Every structure is written in structure tokens, then in C-alpha cells.
Amino acid sequence: MSRPAPRDDLRALIGYHSPQVDVEVRLNTNESPFPPPAAFVARWLAELGSVPLHRYPDRSARLLREALGASFGVPASRILCANGSNEVLQSLLLTYGGPGRRALVFEPTYALHAHIARITGTEVVVAERDPDTFAVDPDAARAAIERFRPHVVLLCDPNNPTGTSDGPRVLDALLDASSDAGPALVVVDEAYGEFARASAVERVSDDRPLVVARTYSKVWSMAALRLGYAVGPEAVLGEVESVLLPYHLDAPTQLAGMLALDYQAEMKARVSLLVEERGRLLGALEDLPGVTPYPSGANYLLFRVHGDGHAAWEGLVERGVLVRDFSRRPRLAECLRVTVGTRAENSRFLDALAEVLAGAPGGGSARGPERVTAPPAAREGGTR
């Protein structure tokens, strides 16, 4: 069969996959270690029984947007919902990026920002984070905006995979420079915002070109359902309508998103627990010779293993613990990222890492043919 050729510019894009290595302790994809509250699941299942499955879902997800808006004290017109925050980002880039337009990213950051931008035909321009702290320097950010005159500025805060929280000073610099240079749309990706001290959501208003993207995948323990949302100016979000597919957000997901909001107390308790465990992990990693951890505002920690980060990743896999290997990603030499898990999982990770660093022989507890053999591209790329 002669095969049709895909778009030329897609050939240059490497696929993004998270390696699936069969181990006992999976701390590689920043999910919540806890399932959603049982009472929420029971209510969702019960109410699903009355969803008219033969009808399309509410195209505008009105009830969900109203409920989310109420939780932030903003009208539903300032909320956009989609299948995960990745779809929120893609929709924003389809609307405000595209051929002949540029998106600015601050590297090292979430690989999907550049990837989604390219899929939408948007040119990616890069500014550097500080190589030691991974912070964005406000002056460097201003200079990058003046130089590149981007149409979209993407800031991941807390940043994945470094955990860095850049906060209001950087946001102010981005908003100031972007309004002079365009104006550009400033998108703050707060997929991990609930774990951080500050949020840009309070800065959203109808006269500021700022959109904040959030997700139910992490703190709401709903990664399997694919629900994300944006908080932004009504006029900006209104334009996005034109790129959304009709009925893109299914009824069970809309229902889950609404019901989950009744379990705020449970969600906050989980966040507190994970933040406490993050502190314990940070302290323990600081005490380990041969490791430099970075402070994090999210539910994961990046740490540098002096010597050979990839060998340490392999050693952890051999001991049944999977973390994320960034050691071959530009700007992240020797770096691994661990998701904060349950207390027991975190202890397993710390014990395994101490053993690896002490040079003890591996336990060989990874199973299956993929044992420590995920190809380098898969280890380094990835969507989570």
C-alpha cells in the first residue's frame, strides 16, 4: 500500500510517552497516590444512572462551569472546561497561536508546552531559567518578550519538572512586558497550583490578558477522567469556543467535576498530607550525601544525583521503585524527579535511594521484559 504522508512539520516531532515499567512503587507521573473519596465515587456512580446516555452532553458544560466559577467567586463566563488541562492548553494555542505566531516557554519546563505548540503550528521560542535555581528572572523574561514578541507566553508555576514557584513578581513582569509587546496572552499552567502558596487565579480579570490552566488530574485524584479548566477573561475564553469540537466534554466527566467540588475538605486534607510528606522527602534528600534536591511547590521533587543520574534511576527500578529520569534532558543533567506518594511509598523510595548511593547490589524486583530497558527517548520525553 502506498501511504499518505502526514504533515511535513509533524515528522520533526518525537512521540511523547511515559515508560511503563512494571514495579511496585510508581512515583513517576505526579498522580495522586490516593483514589478519590469513596463517598464521592458512590454519589457519582449513583447519579450516573440518571444521565440520558442517548443525548449529547451539555455542550457548554454550563453547570460545571457555574460550580467551578462559584468555587473561585467568578462568573461561569470566566471558566472554560476541557478534557484535561492539556486540552485547555491545546485549545488556547489553536486560538492564539498557530502558523506565523510564536509561543514563549521558559526551559527547562513541561515538555508538552513546546510539543502542543508545535502540533498547533505555533513556533516555539525559548528563554532560559536560572541554571542553578530554575527560577525565571523577571528582567530576563521582559527581555525575552521584547526580543521575540510572542503571541502566547507559557509559564508553568509550579514548574514541572523542577518544582519551582515563580510567583507574583515574575507574573507582573510577564504581564507588563506582554502588554507592551503585543499584547500577548499570558498562560499560567497551574496543574500543581493547589500544592503551592500563591496562585495567579486571583489576578484574572476581564481587562487582563491572563489565563490560568488547572486540572482535576492531581489534587482531585481524577487523572483517569480527563478534566481540566481555565480561568480567564470572558472575551479571551469566548474566542476559544471556535476551536472546540462540539460536545467535546462527556457527561460523566462533567458530572464528576461538579460533584467533586462538594469534597473540598477531603481534597485539602490530602494536599496537606502530601505537602507534609514533601517536606519529609526534601529533608531526607538534603541529608543524603551525593544528592541535591530542589525546593518544590508541587507534589514532586526534582533532585540531582552527583555522578550518574541514569544509573541511579536504574538502581531504583531494580529495587522496585520507578521515578522519572530527566538525566538526559538538556539543562537537567543528572536529574531525577520523584512524585510524592504515600508515606510508605516515600520511605521505600528513600531506603532504595540510600542503598543505590551506597553502591549496594540491586534487588531485581522490576518485572517483565521492560525491566530497565525503556528506550532513552521514552525515559526522557513523556507527558507527565
Cβ at position 72, least distance to ligand PMP in Å: 17
Our finding on whether 381 is near ligand PMP (CB under 6 A) is no
CA–CA gap between residue 22 and residue 136 (Å, rounded): 36
Q: Phi first, then psi: what are they for 25, rounded to 5°?
A: -115, 110
Our finding on whether 189 is near ligand PMP (CB under 6 A) is yes
Our finding on whether 339 is near ligand PMP (CB under 6 A) is no
| Runs of H (alpha helix) within the chain | 38-48, 62-72, 84-96, 111-119, 138-148, 167-180, 234-240, 251-260, 264-287, 309-318, 343-357, 376-380
Applying CB under 6 A, among 90, 120, 199, 217 the residue interacting with ligand PMP is 217
Applying CB under 6 A, among 32, 160, 164, 346 the residue interacting with ligand PMP is 160
Contacts (Cβ under 8 Å, ≥6 apart) of 123: 101, 102, 103, 117
Q: Is 33 or 228 the residue whose CB approaches ligand PMP more closely?
A: 228
Cβ at position 3, least distance to ligand PMP in Å: 30
Our finding on whether 85 is near ligand PMP (CB under 6 A) is yes
Q: Is 195 or 352 the residue whose CB approaches ligand PMP more closely?
A: 195
CA–CA gap between residue 186 and residue 352 (Å, rounded): 41
Applying CB under 6 A, among 163, 209, 228, 309 the residue interacting with ligand PMP is 228
Q: Phi first, then psi: what are they for 312, rounded to 5°?
A: -65, -40
Cβ at position 214, least distance to ligand PMP in Å: 8
Number of residue whose CB is nearest ligand PMP = 84
Helix axes 38-48, 251-260, angle to 10 degrees: 140
The window from 84-92, 95-103, 276-284, 305-313 that contacts ligand PMP (CB under 6 A) reads 84-92
The window from 82-90, 178-186, 249-257, 351-359 that contacts ligand PMP (CB under 6 A) reads 82-90
Our finding on whether 142 is near ligand PMP (CB under 6 A) is no
CA–CA gap between residue 322 and residue 134 (Å, rounded): 24
Q: Is 379 or 384 the residue whose CB approaches ligand PMP more closely?
A: 384
What cell does 9 get? 512539520
Q: Is 15 or 369 the residue whose CB approaches ligand PMP more closely?
A: 15
Applying CB under 6 A, among 215, 221, 254, 299 the residue interacting with ligand PMP is 215
Binding mask 7-46 for ligand PMP (x = CB under 6 A): -----------------------x----------------
The CA-based dihedral angle spanning residues 188, 191, 195, 201, taken in that order and rounded to the nearest 10 degrees = 40
Our finding on whether 384 is near ligand PMP (CB under 6 A) is yes
CA–CA gap between residue 131 and residue 330 (Å, rounded): 11
Size of the site for ligand PMP (CB under 6 A): 14
Q: Are the CB atoms for 141 and 166 separated by under 8 Å?
A: no
Cβ at position 206, least distance to ligand PMP in Å: 25
Our finding on whether 299 is near ligand PMP (CB under 6 A) is no
Give the number of other Cβ atoms within 10 Å of residue 1's Cβ.
3
Three-state DSSP class for residue 238: helix
Applying CB under 6 A, among 28, 32, 86, 296 the residue interacting with ligand PMP is 86
The sheet that has 335-339: what strands, in order across it? Answer: 291-293, 300-305, 335-339, 324-325
Our finding on whether 120 is near ligand PMP (CB under 6 A) is no
Applying CB under 6 A, among 127, 171, 177, 191 the residue interacting with ligand PMP is 191
Q: Phi first, then psi: what are they for 227, rounded to 5°?
A: -140, 120
Question: Looking at residue 35, what DSSP letter applies?
Answer: P
Residues that bind ligand PMP (CB under 6 A): 30, 84-86, 110, 156, 160, 189, 191, 215, 217, 223, 228, 384
